[in-house]
Structure 1
Amino acid sequence: MKRDLTPRAHRRPWQLGTAALAATSMLLLAACGGDGGEEDGAGTENTEGSMSGFAADQQFKATEPVDFSILWTDWPDLPIKDSWRIFDEIAERTNVTLEPTNIPFSDATEKRSLLISAGDAPDIIPLVYTGEDAPFVSSGAVLPMSDYVDLMPNFEKYVQEWDLGGMIDNLRQDDGKYYMVPGLQEVSVPVFSMILRKDVFDEVGAPVPETWDELRDALVKIKEKHPDSYPLADGFEGQSMLNYAAHAFGTVGGWGFGNGTFWDEEAGEFTYAATSDGYKEMVEYFHGLVEDGLLDPESLTATSDGSTDELSEKVANSAVFAASGASGTVVEFQTALQAADPDAEFELVQIAPPGGPAGQVVEPRNFWHGFMISAEAKDDPNFVAMVQFLDWLYYSPDARELLRWGIEGETYTKDADGTITIDPEYSLDAFNINPDGKTDLQKDLGFSTFLAEATESRALKESYNSDQFVEYMDRVLESRTPREPFPPAPLDDAELEQASLLSTPLKDSVDTNTLKFVLGDRPLSEWDAYVTELEGQNLQGYLDLINGAQQRFAEKN
């Protein structure tokens, strides 16, 4: 099966595109590397196996065979296999043998923290999102990666080319260093948004909604046509929908709640998102949907293990016609609909997150997960080779294509114009590519796992996604504005512990009461009482910590 995957013209309206910004990017990188008197990467010893003069877009190959340990997260339906070709191919190209330590997806974050705190973590700690390095700074359990970016020419190149320097600056902790390096995305759109049965929306005369009010109007029409349905569902305990909805209401919520603070530009300080007028307005909106039978309450409470099987079944049975999901969810819904009725005609569309009172706003432009390095690895004689290898693995275009598609000339071919064609013997079931292939690139060979998604050019992202998802990216980039990132407010060691003690019960109260308000288990007339309850949990003391850290960091930098 050949699929036309020719990259479209790169339209990047979120870029400033000025020489000044490019220069700023390089200055930021320079400032972050070797900061604070630490020995920088260029002076690092332990250079056995490393390449002299290693440069961007060059194939890394250790000068002698080396072994590096890596923490590997097993997804429930994708356990690691000894037979996976990915590790053999990496070894052949780089002279590096990866030795995985496996942890389950279900409690990966907790297992990772325990290993790091006990000093038992492998050398390479992947699947780390921005901010997740903070708890390990004070103990010195992980290395300050900003000290070693001069050993990472691919990272430096694509930070500059994709205008990401300003975002790199926001990674720094209180000591001015950053301890993880992120996956880089040339274009950034929300991974999760809303997926519609567009044929059903068309059937009732409802356009693709551009705002949450337009969505409500469409759901009312669908409910009239299908009275036994709940037209809208989340399927991720409400966390997904609140995440992508919150920005349009001028707040943060769900998966994107973070530490719960929201930057008030006019006041020049952080406020608590869950006490704001915007958060209240969002809660009132979703309460209204539940009250009118337009939003499936079960989809807000059913425990999610990352599987969408139950939600897919509801979509297949015409009990739900719009739901939260990502590009892969579209494939899952499509598979379920076809299984229920092979002759069914339908159209699934992932839409740009609807706008709201705050405008057509989506999440800030984002990095993706990256990696940390265990502090003990610095004493490895092959340490420099390790950093060079990770720079190749995470940021080199050749490595990125390998991780996603496998072996050129065997599992895929690439035309002169960049069109990638999977070999007929292979499939990539996760994206419904060549389903008749006998060998799946992901499940059977280990390609297209979490490592593949960390860093992506737009062309690579388009190569495996459907035309519909490419259109989704276009719509978001052309019609939505990313919210400006908040200013950094890194906490020192004592503040981190204090903030954790305060923020955890606050967030628990927010999560519990948000759900109660939405489901109608607590009347909205008690909103002020809810805010008073949060204030009684020393909310102001928590905000004082965050704002003090922000002011201190701003003065230092």
Structure 2
Amino acid sequence: MKKAIGLLLVMMLSLSMAACGGKNTKNTNANPDTGNKTSVTEKKEDPKAPVVEEDKPLFDKPVEITMMTDSHPSWPFQDDWYVVKAIKEHTNAVLKVDAIGGSSFSEKFNITMASGDLPDLMWLTKNQAQKYGAEGAFANVLDHLDNMPNFKKWYESDTDYALNFADAEGKLYGLPVIGMGETNTRGYLYREDIFKKHNLQVPTNEVEFYDVLKELKKEYPNSYPFAFRAGINQFLMMAPQWGTNAEPAYLPDPSKNEWAYGAVSDEFKEMTVYFNKLYKEGLIPTDFLTLSTGAWENIMTTSEGFIAVDYLVRIDSLNSPMREQNPDFTIAYMAPPKMGTNGQAMFPFSAVMDRMVVVSNNDNTENALKYADWMFSDEAKELLSWGEEGKTYTVENGERKWIDVVDMADIRRNYGLSTNLLYANFDYNAHMATFTPELFEATVESTKYNLPETPAIAFLDEEKDVQSLRATAIKDHRDEQFSRFIVGDRPLSEWDAYVKEIYDLGLEEHLAMYQKAYQRRLDSQK
């Protein structure tokens, strides 16, 4: 970003906060040169624009809408939240929310489904929605589009994304939750203060990356310059930079229904050889497979680690407390380097969601569908993301400022906004307004490097079991052998044997099933 923006300082964003979102919407770029905050998903609307007031509420008289959702322990549901009252005022909907905390939700959900006495709306994963929707429990919203003008408008503008939530027969048992997933955005982070101290340049390719790690190791012999946690998962997120992919299957050319498996490619081998070299030279932690979050944070904050792949919110969660001891301490965002022969400066789009607002088939379905459709209206997006001027935020110098809010957790705790089942189409600007300028700019900048998402594939019931078993066997073998290659437990001379082992586990059949399922999806759009 070229202009500093006055923002609220974020004191601490925990990992649990980062993980609270689910899947995201589209990964379009924001405009970094406007001088105003811009969402990573859309252009910023006029911050002074009021909530659209309609001539009358959604319902002519009070209508009870029953709901069931899991409740986050950091912001447990409150009946007297601002958002519950605001919804009643704007719609005449009286919400009766059964919010279940912790692991109890799964048990309560199973009991509820077995009873057949379902609430009007539920907050479920797409797999849950598809399983019970096919049994008749939930409405296929595509059958009701003509009575859902707001949702229909969104669906027709982004059908490809919406179909990621559809089942193998093209039925959509709920409304996808969109806009919140950016909370989970990940990317490259680096110790900008250390780089400046030693006059180091941010690397742009694998040679520069290796050279800067070696220089850091020279300056800090006891360090692991490239430090990351979460075991093999972070390694695999780097695959697109080498021109390959680590998903169960992917489309090298989105215009063709030809699926591939990246972990047997020459590019994947090139990446493996490279990381084996980093491991042997002590440039990555020897315990990377088991490194805990706490241990990783200690490495990154004590000059023992200088580059990482992690959640972007770490920028604020690490900078804010560390600057109390060291004002120069700076974790900053770094663009992904192009790696290897066919490298690309791309990073997997990690801010994904799989949650849906599911409408039950019961005697209140018509009202529930009407309310769910309202959640996709411009009025609801504004109200359920920001609240109302003078009540939840003020406008100062053309920018919205939250009232009594330090970080995004306060938005939820204080007002109930952006909590489960109390939004569907979210304006992520509302959360970005709590970011420091550094995190805000990093979030916007990272969108330039988002790898296009691989279409989600839905399998028929008769395909699911065999596909799941085969995919699990392939994944487990890949992860085990990839780890062994990196740490030297298996010589790289056995790469061809490893590839054959993957094929022997049924890779060709695995890819053929993806192709068949994706063709069904394409045919459903004709």
Normalising by the residue count of structure 1, what TM-score does the alignment of the two structures yield?
Answer: 0.73
Query: Kindly, what percent of the aligned residue pairs are identical?
Result: 25
Q: Which residue in the other structure is 1:20 paired with? A: none
Q: For residues 264-310 of structure 1, give each alpha carbon's deviation from its aligned partner in whole angstroms, at most 9, with x where no partner exists.
A: 4398521223222232223333332222222224343246xxxx444
Please say if residues 234 and 300 of structure 1, whose CA atoms lie closer than 8 Å, have aligned partners that are also in contact.
Answer: no
Where relative contact order (Cα < 8 A, 6+ residues apart) is larger, the structure is 2
Q: Which residue in the other structure is 2:226 paired with? A: 232
Please say if residues 66 and 96 of structure 1, whose CA atoms lie closer than 8 Å, have aligned partners that are also in contact.
Answer: yes
Q: For residues 518-552 of structure 1, give each alpha carbon's deviation from its aligned partner in whole angstroms, at most 9, with x where no partner exists.
A: 33333323322322332332333322322233345
Using the TM superposition, name which of 517-526 and 185-194 deviates more.
Answer: 185-194
Q: Which residue in the other structure is 2:66 paired with? A: 68
Shift of 1:331: 1.6
Structure 1's 222 and 401: CA in aligned 2 closer, same or farther, altered over 3 A?
farther
Please say if residues 195 and 323 of structure 1, whose CA atoms lie closer than 8 Å, have aligned partners that are also in contact.
Answer: yes
Q: Which residue in the other structure is 2:18 paired with? A: none
Shift of 1:192: 0.6
Q: For residues 391-445 of structure 1, give each alpha carbon's deviation from its aligned partner in whole angstroms, at most 9, with x where no partner exists.
A: 333x34454454444553133213584x11123xx133358xxxxxxxx333454
Q: Which residue in the other structure is 1:147 paired with? A: 143
Please say if residues 211 and 355 of structure 1, whose CA atoms lie closer than 8 Å, have aligned partners that are also in contact.
Answer: yes
Match of 1:392 among 371, 374, 377: 374
In 2, the alpha carbon distance for the partners of 1:190 and 1:247 equals 18
Q: Which residue in the other structure is 1:463 paired with? A: 433
**In structure 1, what residue type is equivalent to 2:464?**
L
In 1, the alpha carbon distance for the partners of 2:498 and 2:111 equals 38
Q: For residues 366-395 of structure 1, give each alpha carbon's deviation from its aligned partner in whole angstroms, at most 9, with x where no partner exists.
A: 764441415xx22132x22222323333x3
Q: Which residue in the other structure is 2:251 paired with? A: 263
Q: Give the secondary structure class of the aligned counterpart of 1:289.
A: helix
In 2, the alpha carbon distance for the partners of 1:527 and 1:133 equals 41
Q: Which residue in the other structure is 1:102 paired with? A: 100
In 2, the alpha carbon distance for the partners of 1:86 and 1:183 equals 17
Q: Give the secondary structure class of the aligned counterpart of 2:318.
A: helix
In 1, the alpha carbon distance for the partners of 2:282 and 2:135 equals 51
In 2, the alpha carbon distance for the partners of 1:524 and 1:113 equals 48
Match of 1:483 among 426, 433, 452: 452
Structure 1's 503 and 186: CA in aligned 2 closer, same or farther, altered over 3 A?
closer
In 2, the alpha carbon distance for the partners of 1:554 and 1:4 equals 44
In 1, the alpha carbon distance for the partners of 2:270 and 2:194 equals 28
How many residue pairs match? The answer is: 483
Shift of 1:202: 1.9
Structure 1's 114 and 227: CA in aligned 2 closer, same or farther, altered over 3 A?
farther
Structure 1's 117 and 401: CA in aligned 2 closer, same or farther, altered over 3 A?
same
Q: For residues 122-158 of structure 1, give each alpha carbon's deviation from its aligned partner in whole angstroms, at most 9, with x where no partner exists.
A: 54333636x7755555444443232233443333444
Q: For residues 100-125 of structure 1, give each alpha carbon's deviation from its aligned partner in whole angstroms, at most 9, with x where no partner exists.
A: 342537x98x7698568746775433
In 2, the alpha carbon distance for the partners of 1:249 and 1:132 equals 35
Please say if residues 14 and 477 of structure 1, whose CA atoms lie closer than 8 Å, have aligned partners that are also in contact.
Answer: no
Match of 1:279 among 238, 244, 268: 268
**In structure 2, what residue type is equivalent to 1:8?**
N
Q: Give me the CA root mean square deviation.
A: 4.1
Please say if residues 70 and 125 of structure 1, whose CA atoms lie closer than 8 Å, have aligned partners that are also in contact.
Answer: yes
Q: Give the secondary structure class of the aligned counterpart of 2:394.
A: strand
- Unmatched 5+ residue regions in structure 1? 16-53, 432-439
Normalising by the residue count of structure 2, what TM-score does the alignment of the two structures yield?
Answer: 0.77
Q: Give the secondary structure class of the aligned counterpart of 1:516.
A: helix
Please say if residues 312 and 443 of structure 2, whose CA atoms lie closer than 8 Å, have aligned partners that are also in contact.
Answer: no
Structure 1's 101 and 290: CA in aligned 2 closer, same or farther, altered over 3 A?
same
Q: Does 1:124 align with 2:104?
A: no
Q: Does 1:509 align with 2:512?
A: no
Please say if residues 237 and 299 of structure 1, whose CA atoms lie closer than 8 Å, have aligned partners that are also in contact.
Answer: yes
Q: Which residue in the other structure is 1:174 paired with? A: 168
Please say if residues 187 and 347 of structure 2, whose CA atoms lie closer than 8 Å, have aligned partners that are also in contact.
Answer: no
Q: Which residue in the other structure is 1:337 paired with? A: 322
Q: Give the secondary structure class of the aligned counterpart of 1:378.
A: coil
Shift of 1:494: 0.6
Q: Which residue in the other structure is 1:429 paired with? A: 407
Structure 1's 349 and 12: CA in aligned 2 closer, same or farther, altered over 3 A?
closer
Q: Does 1:359 align with 2:352?
A: no
**In structure 1, what residue type is equivalent to 2:491?**
P
Q: Does 1:8 align with 2:36?
A: yes
In 1, the alpha carbon distance for the partners of 2:60 and 2:232 equals 47
Q: For residues 1-45 of structure 1, give each alpha carbon's deviation from its aligned partner in whole angstroms, at most 9, with x where no partner exists.
A: x94599738699999xxxxxxxxxxxxxxxxxxxxxxxxxxxxxx
Please say if residues 412 and 422 of structure 1, whose CA atoms lie closer than 8 Å, have aligned partners that are also in contact.
Answer: yes
In 1, the alpha carbon distance for the partners of 2:347 and 2:221 equals 32
Please say if residues 69 and 420 of structure 2, whose CA atoms lie closer than 8 Å, have aligned partners that are also in contact.
Answer: no
In 2, the alpha carbon distance for the partners of 1:344 and 1:489 equals 48
- Unmatched 5+ residue regions in structure 2? 9-33, 44-51
Q: Does 1:539 align with 2:507?
A: yes
